[in-house]
Structure 1
Amino acid sequence: MRARVRRRWLTAVACCAGALTILGALALPVAPVEVNDPSVSWPLVATAPESTLLSLEAGKPLDLKAAFSCRAVDAAAATEADRASRVVLATTDPDQPERAEGLRITAENGMLTAFLGTTVLFRDRVPASSCRYEIGAVDGHLVYTRDGQRLGTSAMPDVDALVTSITALPGPDLDVTVRVDDRFANSPAPLKLVLLGMVAISAVTAAACLLALHRRKNPRRKRRFRIGTPDVLVGAALVAWLFLAPRTSDDGWMYAMAENHQHAGYFGNYYMYHNNSYVPFTWLLRLYSWWLELGNAPVLLRAPSLLFGIVTWLAVRGAVAEVARGRRMFVPALLFLAWWLPFGLGTRQEASVAACLTVTVAAVLAARRRQRVAYLGLAVGAASLGLIAHTAGVLVVLPLALGAGAAVKLVRRTARSGAVAAATVVCVLSCAAVSAFAGFADGTLADFLRGSSSFGGGLETGPPDPLHDEFDRYRSLLGGNSLGNFALRTPVLLLLLVLPFFVVLCVRARRRRRPLPWALWLTGWTCALGLGLLVLTPSKWTWHFGAFAGVATIFLTWSALAGPGLVRRLVGDGRWTAVLGTLLLTGAAGWVLLSGAGRNVWADDVLPGVPLAGQPLLPGTVSIVVTGLVVAGAFLLRRRRGAFAPMSAATLVVACFLVAELGFLVGGFGVATARTWHTWSPWADAVRDPLAAQCGEARVLRVADPDSARPVEVASGAPVTDGFERNVWYSASPPEPGPATAEVYGNVPDESGRPARFTSPWLKLPSGLSARNQLMTTVSGQTGDGNSLTAEFATASGEVVATTEFSAAEDDIGWRDVSISRGENLPPGAVAFRLTAEVTRNWLSFAMPTARQVVPVGSALPRDGRTLVDWQLTWLYPCQGQPVLADGIVSPVSYAVGFGFGPDESEHAATSGGTWTPGVGGLLGPQLRSSTITRLYTVLDTDPGTPMRTVYRFTRPYADNAYRLRRGTTTAPGW
């Protein structure tokens, strides 16, 4: 009787705790939060306004208020300067209004004119008497007034800076306040803190009640876990891959998001999308932010993926235990490594999704096999965590949906009453509260809705087209870039090869009314339906296939080991079995050829020491296919004849290719490590310096340091300037001051079309020219297409012995370093040189030659957070730090290491990436519009040709932080 009462109480507590957990978890996304509400006031000194950089994360402010007097208008009208003349107030570069929708108010000839971009908002005759202009926000729009009289309205402008040409005022005649949009930075309000505590306590209580309700008095003795040779093989491969693995495209992005959390107060996209919140996909980033306390070396940052790999392998091991024992365990080991090594190698979220999905599948299988309801709670908890790990986490719903029928039967069978069954269901469902806790503890539903542009496409292109994205995913998989290399192709194409045969078996089993093994059925349909469900994930990247790593390993293992017996039982030994085997053997041969056609390329196109880098494996693949078929045929002729011979041959071909492919993958990077041990490569560096104490690639990427420039001595003569003048350049893009550009010449465009020509005096060739000490100039404007910049080399007698046109075709107002000579191929007897220029189109400006030191980036670039490294390269530069994004403001950037090369408008240019593009909320977009950038001469020791790295230097005409920042908070509901 007492036990019955205790059970009733336990059931009641379980129902209450489970229901309270579910309701609390649903309330967490909409619970109130304290939202950061910073504002900027400017100018710092009312009587001495100073233009300042103000790069907003969101691009536009929440609110803008400004007021200025007629005295300020008169002061602006009286200014005359190279840049920003007669400007009362501007929020972007006033000399390039077409580049942004910025506010620009100018004063000239007694008129005040306001623009938004290039659109005129109003013109107003400035009165002779005192007056006051004001700008304020009404319903999200700016309203412009003079002494209360309405002049016009506009949308909120872009804000890159606060600019004025006024340098002195008698009093506070100019005042601007900008309310910065930093709504993603929030923390739980007191009510939400209470709710979090309540959900935590009730969730633990519900889990304890679930275990207590279904506790067995005499539990079955558990099988002891024994480590076998396959486990050692998998563990050794994962640990080796921790050091040898190449990078993925987004390793640096994930690292930067986790790193900036301590400054921003939330996990944002950092490089793009205006740093939009990543809610609810943040628990993995939180793990990385904690892990960063140990260091930011690539080896350390890969450790979580190693942990996920071990968890996934253990779950796979449990799910295939019925069919893979002893030496058969090598089959799942081989398949698991084929999936995990190419897909689970970095910080991307697919590793965590794969782990959660595999644990979910293994728990569903274990619940049915062991008749334990507690495994259902584990499955729901793991699935909920996987669902908010990444958009590909939508796959976790499939094993739950497919196993729902078996779960209901299990609950009915084990529950002693309807009340216990209801309590069990509630407690099992309450395990999903882990997702609300992990995803919305410091985020809200509003964050997710407002930041949705982070998950697919961009801000200007509109919503993504799922079908088009899915087509792109497979096109990328079969393409020639790093998203379709041989290692990524191999497991995915193998899964696509086996799934049709699985469907045939399912149809045959249904007709024969002989069910397939439940593990094979569950994982097979999870994979088949998952490929379709993946269409809904808003990304075209092939990395998403990595979410299948564990469940596909289970499915393929069951197919390989249980498949022949199923075919014998369902189809027989007759003609149809031979047909299926022949089709499978033909498909296996095609799979090998198609997989081997993938190139050996990864996210880093520079692969020092790697065998067949950038090349397809096709020649070796053909040999493997032919050899495998010959071996298989010879083996089967001796051991087996009949209908199953082609199927066995196909299995042998698959096994041989997987062994060869994995051997080349791991062995190739092992060979590369040995080849580059005394030079440099990421893999050798990871083994030799696992904690990145020597700063990675920063010691082998070199730039021509502008500050080291030394003028070249004049030998004889004087410059001949036919159409060229000194200190002439594009007005909106002056050269940065310094020794490298101390003497600049540019042509003045002639309306008659007459060519402009320039000839420098003869200059002495400096001694000691080399790859580390080069002759250089800095160029802006158009070279090529009718314009030329040439170096002539002469002997001591004045004889010209060589002429070299050294500036490639390009047309850009930005400045770029150009190497005249490294000193390695100087003409014999040359002791002097001179520059000649001819311009027939547009304009050209260039600096007189200087000798510059080409030094490592690690010593040339600052480590104080003013150097931005593009996400594709961030891992390789662990010592450079990164600019801080905090309070809705991007800190000033002085240097950038971009992923790309070539002219800024070319296909492979670093500046064509998302980081540099304002239209997609690129981090550097606003500063790119308000700065002069110089593309420094860049060379990588391991690839002196065209490395996918370019260093840029930013020069701004405005002060960096000449404003006053005020911080505040407001309480807001989560919706």
Structure 2
Amino acid sequence: MVTETSPDLVGELPPRRVSGAGANHRITRLVAVIAGLLGALLAMATPFLPVNQTTAQLNWPQNGTFESVEAPLIGYVATELNLTVPCAAAAGLAGPQNAGKTVLLSTVPKQAPKAVDRGLLIQRANDDLVLVVRNVPVVSAPMSQVLSPACQRLTFTAHFDKVTAEFVGLTHGPHAEHPGAPLRGERSGYDFRPQIVGVFTDLSGPVPQGLSFSATIDTRYSSSPTPLKMIAMILGVVLTAIALLTLHILDTADGTRHRRFLPSRWWSIGGLDALVIAVLVWWHFVGANTSDDGYILTMARVSEHAGYMANYYRWFGTPEAPFGWYYDLLALWAHVTTTSVWMRLPTLAMALTCWWLISREVIPRLGHAAKTSRAAAWTAAGMFLAVWLPLDNGLRPEPIIALGILLTWCSVERAVATSRLLPVAVACIVGALTLFSGPTGIASIGALLVAVGPLLTILHRRSKQFGALPLVAPILAAATVTAILIFRDQTFAGESQASLLKRAVGPSLKWFDEHIRYERLFMASPDGSVARRFAVLALLVALAVAVAMSLRKGRIPGLAAGPSRRIIGITVISFLAMMFTPTKWTHHFGVFAGLAGSLGALAAVAVTSAALRSRRNRTVFAAVVLFVVALSFASVNGWWYVSNFGVPWSNSFPKLRWSLTTALLELTVVVLLLAAWFHFVAPTNGPAKTRFGARIARTVQSPLAIAAWALVIFEVTSLTLAMIGQYPAWTVGRSNLQAAAGFKTGQTCGLAEDVLVEQDPNAGMLLPVSAPVAEALGAGLSEAFTANGIPADVSADPVMERPGDRSFINENGTITGGEAGNEGGTNAAPGINGSRAQLPYNLDPARTPVLGSWQPGIQVVARLRSGWYRLPAPDKAGPLLVVSAAGRFAPHEVKLQWATDSGAASGQPGGSLQFSDVGASPAWRNLRLPMSAIPRTATQIRLVADDEDLSPQHWIALTPPRIPQLRTLQDVVGSQDPVFLDWLVGLAFPCQRPFGHQYGVDETPKWRILPDRFGAEANSPVMDNNGGGPLGVTELLVKATTVASYLKDDWSRDWGALQRLTPYYPNAQPAHLSLGTATRSGLWNPAPLRH
């Protein structure tokens, strides 16, 4: 910013005395006080003003008959439940003709796991009719008494503090504790309200008179502002704007004028600018995304139909507020298209804005040395990119927070430089918006705190002219106006209850748990990858150097003391503030992107020969930077989910011929020895002199810039090579470039166009050449392989909790994630070869034989040579050959042998091939082999398996080979069916429609799309019953079955899984709700949110 002072002068402007200023602005001062105070008052009153709530009532029966209905409540429980059942209705459960009917009424399907634990069931148990709520029997009576004339009705009521039930007309028997008392029961001391996913019954036909079920659905967040609240909000915004205008008038009373608002070179683009733009734009297409992008995108997509921004995956559908305003903007943005390239355009714009602020605002304000130093500019750019690329290339709020921190600092610095208060008010608005962009927005408070001293001085000086209140009132209005945005359609009580629930349910880690964030940073995982670890460690190094030089000399030579100290102060305060965030993830470090660039400029100047004259110390600094790089490379080059496809060293430490981390550590030692030599042999201080010339000398004096840019090149190259190496298989880069070029052709559905689904695996079975289908699998040789040689339970092995992952675990301390339907089991009827094993992927036991080597007791050596199966002609075959298998075995223990017709007839196979084993043992999974690996001359194949390991845990089970008939997931699932998109996959499947919710009721999904096993194990606990997520609903309402699927041209990739969700009551229809409207105050609370 250029004022009448030198642009390099960042001190406060001297005050100008204006004769009669106070008298000339009496009206302005009065308007400032009135508008400012009223604006602040209206803003602070907004959370308490009334709203119009849409009420919803679930009433049953709905058509006069016993028809089950679906109504999965997003909040799990109703605020109030009243039930009346005539005793005569129980007659439908009595008698031998009704032996299979046990449930008169329930709020969860009886077939669902945990149905009794969570729901309400009125069921026949032996000869009694029992009302059970959350696994607790409330009241029961013999069926003979229930069907007697004395019994009138069964009543039940549920409130948050107690539940009561009574058989009206019946009394306790003579041996009861209270003989002759009404037969009733009550439970209290706990929230016994049952979970409701609908109303289900085993009965049919017309309902008897008097049967009623009425649940008041919790719709406290389905609200809109009343006319009174709307008027108050509009007035609040208008009055705040007027107050800010009056503050501007008072600011300019001294007659000072500015030549321009933006610096003269704001719009000019230099070589470094072009490079930063190129890196950011290219990374926008090929770069990795963050883990929560799907989470946020799905929330935004669903919010329009829902009426508010609910936390879709957790916390019982409570709103994301007070941190939801940024997501509301994304919801509007998604109206155009939901492709990743489009949705992340605001993030790209924020990245470019951050760099523009760093290079045009921050660096010039730091002082002459920073402004004229090319090393400072290159270090700032490298540090900014090193933090932004791995941490801020998604939809999470860190990018807008990073930008907000810079804007707040720039506004504060303008206030200090010009002695004006309007920039302070602007800083308050930007800081508040930043604060409420996400929990990590708490870092924005540092930008205001570090300048309290200078700002109070300005306020004191100007208050002598105008008084304190005309100056403070507009600032107060600016600081509070954000409350209008946050509470525009919600209430204080509602958001307070939501915040309390989130704290109770968790994750809600304490400030002293901050070490968990750094534990994750040093894990060999995407949270602690090479890129993320370097970003944080380099930031800490830059901060340490800037602090050390400031403390040693009072200021960094050549830099302005005030702005430099405030940049350092903001960073320190931000690190401290992050201790109070409820979760401890490494992606939160993305808020430091703008500060990293600023600190990089400070550190670059601090270690130049002009500031740090000791050659020894500069060499030590270079060694420290090398050590940070070495420590960073002691991790994987890992990225989240699909961003990891094809990336070199994604599951190992980077190495060429030798380990990079070891080589860098050795180089660090060499540089330290050089520093020792400078200390003892060449202690002369001064600028470094090298034989490579002055330009090379300036370059080697910026080790942090070299390291940062080296990491940027490493990251960009890694993702670019992944895209090239994987082609034509799917990668983030290929998908984004295709989407950018395919808006006209419609190729914008991401992974859904490359995931191939096998809907009917029975249709692709290869036919045996000579043996019958039932015998062909063991026709060649079958030693100890039997039709029932499979354990009853083949569930995938659990994955134990990893260090630092305490945020989401189940009650047993483990995270499990097998594919639904692949856990084995037994069938009542034997299959085609006598096996009773339950087969995966909808394989038909009547057409699919299976053989296994497991047996109870002592194991024996088992060998299998199948009969020969006929291959189709190469031009008629699909791209993949598959064998469904279970057990624990090495890849070489199951092989495919191929032969020509003559070779097969003579028993001479032409060769053998190994399968790719994708999936979790010992569960059922599909062994894959590309058809391109089988010679075109082959006409027959057979399976060969050898199990020589006698451990009971080591066994093999196989089905016949098949060539799947494949369709894309987009063709199978489409864009209309409601889909349960796990939060890791949302961004990769932009065309699938997430199941919605409205008026407190979820839509029943027909499909579920999961990430790879690692991702499924990590993210499923987030969405479970304990956290109030959708898994706690779907597991009670539908049964999941995994559908076989594969990633096109990357057949051995575990891309994730597709599950078909089948309702336990297929004929149940969505319930019709009775809707209404009620006016609620901002303090209204119908009942506690259950958790």
Question: Into which bin does the TM-score normalised by the smaller protein fall?
Answer: 0.7 to 0.9
11-20 or 268-277, which deviates more: 268-277
1:303-322 residue CA offsets vs partner (Å, 9 max, x unmatched): 11122223322332312113
- Would you say 1:152 and 2:185 are equivalent positions? yes
Residue 517 of structure 1 is matched in structure 2 by 561
- CA distance 1:686–1:32, change in 2 (3 Å): same
1:532-561 residue CA offsets vs partner (Å, 9 max, x unmatched): 221101111111111111123223312322
- Would you say 1:87 and 2:87 are equivalent positions? no
Give the alignment partner of residue 663 of structure 1, picking from 713, 734, 747.
713
538-547 or 436-445, which deviates more: 436-445
Residue 9 of structure 1 is matched in structure 2 by 27
Residue 806 of structure 2 is matched in structure 1 by none
Deviation of 1:217 after TM superposition, in Å, equals 2.9
- Would you say 1:31 and 2:71 are equivalent positions? no
Cα separation, 1, equivalents of 2:558 and 2:719 = 47
Letter in 1 for 2:428: V
Q: What is the Cα-based RMSD across aligned positions, in Å? A: 4.5
Residue 560 of structure 1 is matched in structure 2 by 604
- CA distance 1:745–1:359, change in 2 (3 Å): same
Deviation of 1:172 after TM superposition, in Å, equals 4.2
1:741-769 residue CA offsets vs partner (Å, 9 max, x unmatched): 6669999xxxx9999x9x99989657469
1:281/1:390 contact within 8 Å kept: yes
- CA distance 1:413–1:701, change in 2 (3 Å): same
Question: SS of the counterpart of 2:156?
Answer: strand
Deviation of 1:206 after TM superposition, in Å, equals 0.8
Residue 879 of structure 1 is matched in structure 2 by 991
Deviation of 1:40 after TM superposition, in Å, equals 1.7
Cα separation, 1, equivalents of 2:56 and 2:829 = 42
TM-score w.r.t. length of structure 1: 0.85
- Would you say 1:244 and 2:289 are equivalent positions? no
Give the alignment partner of residue 440 of structure 1, picking from 484, 487, 491.
487
Aligned runs of 1:202-241 on 2, under 5 Å?
Answer: 202-215=239-252, 217-222=255-260, 223-226=263-266, 227-229=268-270, 230-241=272-283
TM-score w.r.t. length of structure 2: 0.76
1:132/1:147 contact within 8 Å kept: yes
- Would you say 1:325 and 2:432 are equivalent positions? no
Residue 232 of structure 2 is matched in structure 1 by 195
Deviation of 1:662 after TM superposition, in Å, equals 1.4
- CA distance 1:519–1:374, change in 2 (3 Å): same
- Would you say 1:22 and 2:21 are equivalent positions? no
Question: SS of the counterpart of 1:968?
Answer: strand
Residue 399 of structure 2 is matched in structure 1 by 351
Residue 106 of structure 1 is matched in structure 2 by 123
Aligned runs of 1:597-676 on 2, under 5 Å?
Answer: 597-604=634-641, 607-617=644-654, 619-620=659-660, 642-643=684-685, 651-676=701-726
437-446 or 718-727, which deviates more: 718-727
User: How many residues align structurally?
Assistant: 936
Residue 586 of structure 2 is matched in structure 1 by 542
2:618/2:701 contact within 8 Å kept: no
Residue 972 of structure 1 is matched in structure 2 by 1080
1:625/1:653 contact within 8 Å kept: no
Aligned runs of 1:306-455 on 2, under 5 Å?
Answer: 306-316=348-358, 317-321=360-364, 322-323=367-368, 324-325=370-371, 328=374, 329-415=377-463, 417-419=465-467, 421-452=468-499
Cα separation, 2, equivalents of 1:144 and 1:6 = 76
Residue 256 of structure 1 is matched in structure 2 by 298
Letter in 1 for 2:992: Q
- CA distance 1:810–1:417, change in 2 (3 Å): same
1:268-290 residue CA offsets vs partner (Å, 9 max, x unmatched): 11122222211111111111011
1:602-643 residue CA offsets vs partner (Å, 9 max, x unmatched): 112563454444443464566678889889989x99xx9733
- CA distance 1:167–1:767, change in 2 (3 Å): farther
Question: SS of the counterpart of 1:56?
Answer: coil
Letter in 1 for 2:1043: L
Cα separation, 1, equivalents of 2:183 and 2:111 = 27
- CA distance 1:181–1:709, change in 2 (3 Å): farther
Deviation of 1:259 after TM superposition, in Å, equals 0.9
829-838 or 158-167, which deviates more: 829-838
- Would you say 1:591 and 2:628 are equivalent positions? yes
1:347-394 residue CA offsets vs partner (Å, 9 max, x unmatched): 110111111111111111222123232221221111111110111111
Cα separation, 1, equivalents of 2:284 and 2:492 = 36
Deviation of 1:846 after TM superposition, in Å, equals 11
Cα separation, 2, equivalents of 1:565 and 1:792 = 68
- Would you say 1:63 and 2:80 are equivalent positions? yes
Residue 823 of structure 2 is matched in structure 1 by none
Cα separation, 1, equivalents of 2:570 and 2:40 = 27
Letter in 2 for 1:518: G
1:651-684 residue CA offsets vs partner (Å, 9 max, x unmatched): 4322222222112222333344444554432112
- Would you say 1:483 and 2:527 are equivalent positions? yes
- CA distance 1:791–1:526, change in 2 (3 Å): closer
Cα separation, 2, equivalents of 1:164 and 1:746 = 38
Question: SS of the counterpart of 2:702?
Answer: helix
Question: SS of the counterpart of 1:144?
Answer: strand
Residue 797 of structure 2 is matched in structure 1 by none
430-439 or 719-728, which deviates more: 719-728
1:97/1:118 contact within 8 Å kept: no
Question: SS of the counterpart of 2:993?
Answer: coil
Cα separation, 2, equivalents of 1:143 and 1:518 = 68
1:357/1:383 contact within 8 Å kept: yes
Q: In structure 1, list runs of 5 or more residues that go unmatched.
A: 902-906
- CA distance 1:593–1:62, change in 2 (3 Å): same
Deviation of 1:818 after TM superposition, in Å, equals 4.6
Question: SS of the counterpart of 1:417?
Answer: helix
- Would you say 1:952 and 2:995 are equivalent positions? no
Cα separation, 2, equivalents of 1:163 and 1:836 = 50
Question: SS of the counterpart of 1:378?
Answer: helix
Residue 3 of structure 2 is matched in structure 1 by none
Residue 143 of structure 1 is matched in structure 2 by 164
Give the alignment partner of residue 917 of structure 1, picking from 1000, 1018, 1024.
1024
Give the alignment partner of residue 975 of structure 2, picking from 842, 855, 863.
863
- CA distance 1:547–1:167, change in 2 (3 Å): same
- CA distance 1:946–1:78, change in 2 (3 Å): farther
- CA distance 1:231–1:821, change in 2 (3 Å): closer
- CA distance 1:763–1:655, change in 2 (3 Å): closer
Give the alignment partner of residue 176 of structure 1, picking from 206, 213, 226.
213
1:825-852 residue CA offsets vs partner (Å, 9 max, x unmatched): 79988578999999x99xx999999864
Letter in 1 for 2:168: D
Letter in 2 for 1:519: P
Cα separation, 2, equivalents of 1:488 and 1:31 = 45
Residue 802 of structure 2 is matched in structure 1 by none
Give the alignment partner of residue 716 of structure 1, picking from 756, 772, 788.
772
Question: SS of the counterpart of 2:221?
Answer: coil
- CA distance 1:386–1:820, change in 2 (3 Å): closer
Question: SS of the counterpart of 1:853?
Answer: coil
